[in-house]
Amino acid sequence: MSASMDSKLTLSLAQMDIVPGEPDANFAAAAALVEEAAERGSDLVVLPELWDSGFALDRAVVLASAFGEGLFRRVAELARRHRIHVTGSMLEKHGGKVYNCMAVFAPNGDIVGIYRKTHLIGLMGEDQWLAPGDMLTVLDLPWGRTGLALCYDLRFPELFRRYVVDQGARFIILPAAWPLPRRTHWRILTRARAIENQCFLAACNRVGQSGKYEFFGASALIDPWGERLVEAGDVPALLTVTVDMGRVDEVRAALPALADRRSDLYS
């Protein structure tokens, strides 16, 4: 299924538990969610951050795969089989380094864009095992200009502003592995990023326990006015919602805050 540019988009947020360091088990769980999302008529399914491995980062070199190999190849086949866009993040091996990589797979199985996480969270050891990305990514997808971000990026509003103001994003996808006790931060910041940038934000967080970390879910689709159109609880779930991308234009016309920015003072 495909949406026409700036029309209606049906998406599913695949909030799942993740078995640390067990990519086969995690792929099986993800594949079932992708299949169900396709059966519901979704154009896009969003999986959480590091859905393939969890935070088994001490084994990242072993668990990571390159484009066209391993789980990247299997997800490409999954997207092609179900004719759906699929994204989330996985461990990617590239140039002798390992990245937390968000790839967007098109319904024909091609990777149409990637984003390597730029802000690594030292609090959870990412900076010890992974290399940071060095570029931001906005894609022209069937439903409109879409920015890619991952979890901890949510705390850096300048990234989102760059996507919207400089690169024309109308929709932002944010897979995450955001743990307790910072649930309040998650709910406030996801809403704030959508409100201040007057765009849709699809935020898919994981659930479950991983070592000392407990993940609470609360995946949500937030509209440009800051309304949560759907929000999950703290257990595995597949949320599906249809949005009209024209809502972005409505909100920006009703409250033209982006047009009133004093960019001459910020540079």
pLDDT tens, 87-121? 999 999 999 999 999 999 999 999 999 999 999 99
What would the pLDDT profile of 21-36 be if each residue is shown by its tens digit?
999 999 999 999 999 9
Q: Yes or no: say if 158 and 196 are a contact pair by the CB < 8 Å rule.
A: no
Concerning whether 151 is annotated as a catalytic residue, the answer is yes
For range 171-185, the mean pLDDT: 97
Q: Give the domains, in start order, of the chain with CATH numbers.
A: 8-261 (3.60.110.10)
Q: How confident is the model at residue 211 (pLDDT cuts 50, 70, 90)?
A: confident
Q: Identify the residue whose tokens are 């609470």.
A: 216
Concerning whether 92 is annotated as a catalytic residue, the answer is no
Strands, DSSP E only, in the chain? 8-15, 44-46, 85-87, 89-94, 97-105, 111-116, 138-141, 144-148, 171-176, 200-205, 207-210, 213-216, 220-222, 228-231, 237-244
Q: Using the Cα atoms of residue 251, residue 41, residue 148 and residue 109 in order, give the sign of their dihedral.
A: negative
**Catalytic site residue from 93, 101, 126, 151:** 151
**Catalytic site residue from 49, 93, 126, 199:** 49
What would the pLDDT profile of 140-165 be if each residue is shown by its tens digit?
999 999 999 999 999 999 999 999 99
What whole-number distance in Å separates Cα of residue 20 and Cα of residue 36? 23
Give the other-Cβ count within 10 Å of 77's Cβ. Answer: 13
What whole-number distance in Å separates Cα of residue 206 and Cα of residue 27? 14
pLDDT at 5 over 60: no
pLDDT at 182 over 90: yes
**Catalytic site residue from 92, 93, 101, 117:** 117
Residues of the chain with pLDDT > 70: what percent? Answer: 98
pLDDT at 220 over 70: yes
Q: Mean pLDDT across the chain, nearest whole number?
A: 96
pLDDT at 267 over 80: no
Concerning whether 117 is annotated as a catalytic residue, the answer is yes
Specify the pTM: 0.96
Q: Which DSSP letter does residue 149 get? A: -
Collapsed DSSP state (helix, strand, coil) of residue 68: coil
